[in-house]
Amino acid sequence: MLILECPCCGVLADETELTAGGEAHLKRFGPESSDDEFEGYLFRRENPRGVHFERWRHSHGCGKWFHAARNTVTLEVYGTYSAQTTEPPEAIRQKISGVAPGWKWRLFK
Amino acid sequence: MSQRLPKGGRLIDRSTEMSFTFNGQTLHGYAGDTLASALLANDRMMVGRSFKYHRPRGVVASGAEEPNALINMGQGSRFEPNQRATTTELFSGLTARSQNHWPSLDFDVGAVNAHLSRFLPAGFYYKMFIHPRSFWKHVYEPFIRQSAGLGQAPTERDADTYEHFYAFADVLVIGGGIAGLEAARAAGASGAKVLVLEQTAHWGGRAPVDGGHVGGRPVEDYIDSLVAELQAMENVTLRSRCMGAGVYDHGYVLGYERLNDHRPGQDGPRHRLWRIRAKQIVTATGAIERPLSFAGNDVPGVMLASAMRDYVVNWGVTPGQRVVVATNNDDAYRTAIALKKAGVDVLRILDARETGGGALMNTARDMGIRIDCGRGIGKVTGGKRVKKVQICAQAGAGGALEEIACDAVAMSGGWSPVVHLWSHCGGKLLWDGDQAHFRPDPSRAPTGADGKPFVTVAGSANGHLGLDAILPDAGEAGRVAAQAAGFKPKRAAAVAVDPTTEAPMEPVWMMPAQARPALRAKAWLDYQNDVKVSDVRLAAQEGYESVEHTKRYTTLGMATDQGKLSNINGLATLADALGEAIPNVGTTTFRPPYTPISMGSIGGEARGAVFQPVRETPMYGWHDSHGADWEPVGQWRRPYAYVRPGETTHDAVMREVRNVREGVGMLDASTLGKIVVKGPDAGRFLDMLYTNMMSTLKPGKCRYGLMCSENGFLIDDGVVARIDEDTFLCHTTTGGADRIHAHMEEWLQTEWWDWQVYTANMTEQYAQIAVVGPKARVLLEKLGGMDLSKESLAFMEWRDGKIGSFDARVYRISFSGELSYEIAVPASQGQAFWDALMQAGADLGVMPYGTEALHILRAEKGFIMIGDETDGTVIPQDLGLNWAISKKKTDYLGKRAQSRDHMTDPTRWKLVGLETVDGSVIPDGAYAVAEGTNANGQRNTQGRVTSTYHSPTLGKGIAMGLVLNGPDRMGEVIDFPGTDGTVYKAKIVDPVFYDKDGEKQNV
Amino acid sequence: MFDLQSALANARFDGIAQIRELGLQGMITLRGDVAAPVLKKAATAASGTAMPGQRKAVFSDTGGMAWMSPDELLILCPYAEVTDRLEALTDALAGTHALAVNVSDARAVFEVSGPHAREVVAKLCPVDLSPQAFSPGDFRRTRMAQVAAAIWADDDQTLRIICFRSVARYVFGVLSVAAQKGSEVGYFQAG
């Protein structure tokens, strides 16, 4: 059972206080989008063995959404960060590069 | 025979006698006994039967690893099967019954399986019961189910309570043996908060039994002072009878505390499940002795050497009078010495090693015990207890050199560290060839959230088998853990410990090494599941190369003991059969819990009235005392109908519907979600959430709206009221309030975070009462207060004001088609308001109505219900709700999805009304059949019922359903077969059955 | 006039700790930019206290204010004063993007007291409730068994809990089970 630090209230939250929200940093495609774009947005998801970016909600706490960068194999948590961003902060990316050189993830490296 | 010794037994109190029953017979033991030691003290050598062959089974171990001594414990509401006698503390009045036999332990019909064992080899069930296919369901399965299982299932409700406890520690030490205590002291000295868990009732583990000296004092004294020292430390907590059950991600550990098992009926919970978060964990879980694989090693009276020593030293019980010891290492000599000291005849030590042992061997010889080196056991004979042992050369094929009569055999195949808790969360093992065991690989520990190791292992769990190695290793583990948890450990103080002078062990996986097939077929690996050396060899021969496959094929290690004794012997046998090295074969996966834990402890407080939250409205108590039949809606309980004396529930529903249509009814609508949405961008936000336009709604007005997911599917509906320029109040369905509030927050926080909108879930602030029916206005006017006339409060408007002296917000909305007011008052005023309405309406015939009447009223009007007409695959267009989908808006959640091919497919089933031809009611969930059959030979379908009721207003069965091309087929009659063979014929009609022009609600 | 009813009418249970439902409590949810001077001024005037820090609560004789999330505060006051305080707060925030609503009736408040109070709550919440980790002034929103709850400590032996009104009976029930006779844990050291 994971522990993630909620960046909104600072609690080291037990997984039972949290709700998982799937892959992070999806770009929304609306009415004008092509079938491929929309399919990608709605259905295509990363399922990496290793570095992953996820959305979580501190649902039994401050109620806020946040992002987590973690490793799906080792369960190492590289960091949690604001939900109000379209990509992970540089500091977290550097930290990941330090432990998992050569990592990549869809849009980021 | 096995019996109590005249003296000795460090854990028992001979002045406190306790009586208990076994299979109905009253026996006696002492305080401090386990059930196993007490049974042995009463010469109960045989305590059960094995799972497959129903072979006689005796106690083989002395602790959690016991595979044989499983009993039905207790009776009635405190009955529990499969309890290990070795970990059951004796108490006065204990009742135990042996398992897996019929009609009695001594005479068991199932034992015939043993004679058929030649025909029941590994994989027998897989091979036998596959053909013919149809036999499985009707012949094999009922038979196998009957014979499966060990103990009986309890029949009464559990009388005990259980609980959880969330604990946080810097360093958690699992195991209260000498290593755990030493590690705890080292960690505690750093100031870290330390929690120590010990599964038994005693501290020190097996060190006091094995003996030795620390700092010139007997090890037992050393342990006593260690415990005293730890107890005096404020930052250290010691918990006995509390097993570390599992180690999970990020330092999460389950501790299983047995509070009242040894004193049933006391106040307080029976078990407490500790849900622990530890920064660092030290596993000091000890080691388990392995059996030797020789023919007849399962006969009652054959016991692990260490267990036999435990019974003598801890409980003053000897399992035999004339004992033979078989070993491949020095440790078993301690047993021979302990037995001899207790006055028991040790007839022979058979040491499989050609050169024998070290200093202990000399001690034993000096005491007059005969030692044969390079010898082993060819065969043990005896049925329900050991009678004779055939001695053979270990290097040979089993030819008997000598036969001696004896009544017990102590065996030792070496020691395996308990690596379970290390391994649960990913700790890796390495093969130690010298000791012939797997032990934790310190370079591959489980890692935590920070990517660093969070488990350290200490003592014999780390592969150290002598005190002189265990103590420094444990102290170091404690310091390493404290440091990793962020504390500064103190330097170690050197203690003088007896040096180890043992000769190396020699692996023995088969005794004798070249045993003939007949002997291998009688050499047990897994006592509980009856897996023998021959079975594993057969599996290997049949191509099972992976240890995981062999385990499942043979059931090796799959019994309730999870192979604590059998795993290493089994995989060594497999490796030998495959011609592979043991580390190449590897182990099976270690999964929590370490030993079975009670279901009650997992449930904790969640049983009975608090099994799950039941949400109550402010008028819950009134409903309950006025005949409410409850219906669960989400976690809410809502009255389904208010049944009066002499009425059926159906009668009540019909009465309630008629009363609303003809007079006035009251509904507790408090459960409807009420979410305030406020801010400069609130209108824009709601335009994205609802399919229709909300931003154009005028303050003071209400509008019905639909919400879809990004997939396009309908997820909720409700009435939106505009409070002021900046503020809207969104009603959701009863089950939807939390979900829709979360849905709103998700979009605001993760997509449109620059929009200026705040939301608040106000659902429970209000008691909301719907006053519905032609006499609704008359009723409300009797209370006085605000003007509720059509002129000042028109249909689909809302106003704040007073009704009587209540603070009310009144919505003129209708889910029934009648004149209707939904009135919200603060929840604390709810009951008083309800009472005032009931009183004022008495002469108008006011009645409360429940959810079923609500459903019928709305169905008569053709209003959809989320969860009935929708099921997560339905879009608003399917329901003919195009009028509620804005054509002007460029975007809303679900709009893009609703333009996908599948969503615009003209063959999607569409909503229609259905009227049975004969007035009957179509069964809920019925499908309309079409011509022909599909690929599976099932009838093709062309629609399904989504809601179906008897309408008292129309006097017949009405329904709503989704039908292929439905709206174009008005008047057509289609067939709905019921499950009882009846075919319901229904005519497709408009879904609005009542007051099509909506005149009644708009008066 | 009529009787106002709190969720459980001051129900109580005596076990290893005392559980009491405390009756109606005035509560205002305030959402907005908590760093904005106008909001600070309005909020502190409504609560009669200073602003609380992250995960903190501050109290005065007649009121209090708790930090709920980065953009949400909970203002506490006597039930009879909530309408007036909300009105004053709303007036003070006129023209500011903020949301202030009366939630007094949407909640229930419990007190758990006695030497074992912390243990009782620690049986239900995944939070370190030792006196070292959680002391008066701290405010924690969490899960209590299967529902949401917020907790603060009045003193070392008194905890207060806020939950939703509809689950008050459930919360009272799980607290009563957790406080049953003979269920002392003995894990927490004195603070």
Cβ of B891 within 8 Å of Cβ of A74? The answer is no
Higher pLDDT, residue B571 or B144: B571
In chain B, pLDDT over 70 holds for what percent of residues?
A: 96
Residue in A10, A14, A62 closest to C126 by CB: A14
Residue B586 has a pLDDT of: 85
Residue B50 has a pLDDT of: 84
Task: List pLDDT tens digits, range B615-657.
Answer: 999 999 999 999 999 999 999 999 999 999 999 999 999 999 9
Rounded to an integer, what distance in angstroms lies between the CA atom of residue A79 and that of residue A88? 9
Residue B433 has a pLDDT of: 95
SS3 B228: helix
C141 touches A: beta carbon within 8 Å: yes
Whether residue C92 is predicted with pLDDT greater than 80 in this model: the reply is: yes
In chain C, pLDDT over 70 holds for what percent of residues?
A: 99
Residue in B164, B168, B676 closest to C101 by CB: B676
Residues of C in contact with A63 (CB under 8 A): 69, 72, 141
Task: List pLDDT tens digits, range B892-945.
Answer: 999 999 999 999 999 999 999 999 999 999 999 999 999 999 999 999 999 999
A87 touches C: beta carbon within 8 Å: no
C69 touches B: beta carbon within 8 Å: no
Task: List pLDDT tens digits, range B283-315.
Answer: 999 999 999 999 999 999 999 999 999 999 999
Whether residue C191 is predicted with pLDDT greater than 80 in this model: the reply is: no
How confident is the model over B842-871, as a mean pLDDT?
Answer: 97
The minimum CA-CA distance between B601 and chain A, rounded to whole Å, is 18
Cβ of B896 within 8 Å of Cβ of A33? The answer is yes
Rounded to an integer, what distance in angstroms lies between the CA atom of residue B350 and that of residue B372? 5
Residue A79 has a pLDDT of: 97
Whether residue B107 is predicted with pLDDT greater than 90 in this model: the reply is: no
Tokens representing B14 are 């001979």
CA–centroid distance for B808 within its chain: 47
Tokens representing B409 are 């055999």
Task: List pLDDT tens digits, range C41-77.
Answer: 999 999 999 999 999 999 998 899 999 999 999 999 9
Chain A residue with minimum CA distance to B896: A31
Whether residue B114 is predicted with pLDDT greater than 90 in this model: the reply is: no
Whether residue C190 is predicted with pLDDT greater than 80 in this model: the reply is: no
Residues 56-85 of chain A with CB under 8 A from chain B are 57, 59, 63-65, 71, 74-77, 83-84
Band (pLDDT 50/70/90 cuts) for residue B708 is: very high
Query: In sequence order, what are the residues at sequence separation of 6 or more whose Cβ sits closer than 8 angstroms to the Cβ of residue B286?
Result: B175, B177, B179, B205, B206, B417, B418, B459, B460, B461
Residues of C in contact with A14 (CB under 8 A): 126
Residue in B195, B762, B835 closest to C101 by CB: B762
B444 touches A: beta carbon within 8 Å: no
Inter-residue contact B400 to B571 (CB < 8 Å): no
Whether residue B117 is predicted with pLDDT greater than 60 in this model: the reply is: yes
Cβ of A10 within 8 Å of Cβ of C54? The answer is yes
Residues of chain C with CATH 3.30.1360.120: 12-22+106-178
Whether residue C120 is predicted with pLDDT greater than 70 in this model: the reply is: yes
Task: List pLDDT tens digits, range B731-779.
Answer: 999 999 999 999 999 999 999 999 999 999 999 999 999 999 999 999 9
Residue B141 has a pLDDT of: 67
Superfamily of domain C26-105: Heterotetrameric sarcosine oxidase (3.30.70.1520)
Residues of A in contact with B897 (CB under 8 A): 38, 42
> How do strand B56-58 and strand B70-73 relate by DSSP bridges?
unpaired
The domains located in chain A, with CATH, are 3-99 (3.30.2270.10)
Whether residue C99 is predicted with pLDDT greater than 80 in this model: the reply is: yes
Task: Tell me the average pLDDT of chain B.
Answer: 95
C33 touches B: beta carbon within 8 Å: no
DSSP secondary structure string for all residues of B895-918 = TTGGGSHHHH-TTS-EEEEEEETT
Cβ of C165 within 8 Å of Cβ of B165? The answer is no
Band (pLDDT 50/70/90 cuts) for residue A109 is: low
Band (pLDDT 50/70/90 cuts) for residue B119 is: low
Whether residue B146 is predicted with pLDDT greater than 70 in this model: the reply is: no
Task: List pLDDT tens digits, range B211-255.
Answer: 999 999 999 999 999 999 999 999 999 999 999 999 999 999 999
Cβ burial of B267 (10 Å; 0-12, 13-18, 19+) is middle
Task: List pLDDT tens digits, range B72-85.
Answer: 999 999 999 999 99
Q: Helix B178-188 and helix B467-484: axis angle, to 10°?
A: 40
Rounded to an integer, what distance in angstroms lies between the CA atom of residue B766 and that of residue C185? 39
The domains located in chain B, with CATH, are 3-111 (3.10.20.440), 162-287+417-484 (3.50.50.60), 320-410 (3.50.50.60), 517-578 (1.10.10), 618-894 (3.30.1360.120), 906-1003 (2.40.30.110)
Query: In the beta sheet, which residues pair with residue B951?
Result: B956
Residues of chain C with CATH 3.30.70.1520: 26-105
Q: Which fold has domain C12-22+106-178?
A: Gyrase A; domain 2 (3.30.1360)
Cβ burial of C90 (10 Å; 0-12, 13-18, 19+) is middle
A101 touches B: beta carbon within 8 Å: no
In chain C, pLDDT over 90 holds for what percent of residues?
A: 95
Cβ of C122 within 8 Å of Cβ of B167? The answer is yes
How confident is the model over B671-689, as a mean pLDDT?
Answer: 98
Task: List pLDDT tens digits, range B168-224.
Answer: 999 999 999 999 999 999 999 999 999 999 999 999 999 999 999 999 999 999 999
Rounded to an integer, what distance in angstroms lies between the CA atom of residue B769 and that of residue B834? 8
Chain B residue with minimum CA distance to C16: B268
Band (pLDDT 50/70/90 cuts) for residue B126 is: low
Residues of A in contact with C141 (CB under 8 A): 9, 60-63
Tell me if the pTM is above 0.80: yes
Residue C148 has a pLDDT of: 96
Residue in A17, A60, A62 closest to C68 by CB: A62
Residue B332 has a pLDDT of: 98
Query: In the beta sheet, which residues pair with residue B666?
Result: B771, B848
Task: List pLDDT tens digits, range A59-107.
Answer: 999 999 999 999 999 999 999 999 999 999 999 999 999 998 989 887 7
> What chains are in contact with B, requiring at least 3 Cβ pairs below 8 Å?
A, C
How confident is the model over B970-984, as a mean pLDDT?
Answer: 95
ipTM of the complex: 0.98
Residue B108 has a pLDDT of: 73
- Extract the runs of DSSP E, i.e. beta strands, from A9-107: 12-14, 19-23, 51-57, 65-71, 77-82
